Amino acid sequence: MIDHISIGVRDLEKGKAFYAAALAPLGYAVMMEFPGVVGLGEKGKPDFWLGAGEGVFRQHVAFLAADRKTVDAFYEAAIRAGGKDNGPPGLRPMYHPNYYGAFVLDPDGNNIEAVCHTP
């Protein structure tokens, strides 16, 4: 199951305004903002992210893992398959206290993640 996805936009403020308006009928709203990124979602957490960038922007897809061991297994398998480390398994409390994720760049430089939200 996909947990969240990110796309690149050239102008973050313009992208934020557009997507906030376009997705409002679907129940989406801006839920989080960090420097250079905006997260929109519904029902408690962002699942659609915008990232500002010039030129090529790495796409980002996060897959939902059942538990932390599965996040660890994803990371190990992806590295063995030729992926490059972009953040080893661990807690990311800046997102929320139980956010446990691992990030790997695929052969084309896309950021692939597995994440577990439970303790």
**pLDDT, tens digit (0-9, with 9 covering 90-100), for 34-69:** 999 999 999 889 999 998 876 666 788 898 999 999
Instruction: Retrieve residue 17's tokens.
Output: 């305004």
Question: How large is the average pLDDT for residues 16-42?
Answer: 90
Tally the residues of the chain.
Answer: 119
| 29 and 72 part of one domain | no
- What total of structural domains would you count in the chain? 2
pLDDT of residue 1: 86
Token couple for 117: 């939200």
Q: DSSP assignment of 78-95, as one string?
A: HHHTT-EESS-SEE-TTT
Shared domain check, 79 and 48: no
Both 62 and 109 in one domain: the answer is yes
Its domain, for residue 13, covers: 1-54
**Residue 65 shares a structural domain with residue 113:** yes
pTM comes to 0.75
Tell me the two tokens of residue 27: 């129940």
What pLDDT does residue 64 have?
92
Whole-number pLDDT of residue 48:
92
Can you give the pLDDT at residue 10?
82
Q: Do 81 and 25 belong together in one domain?
A: no
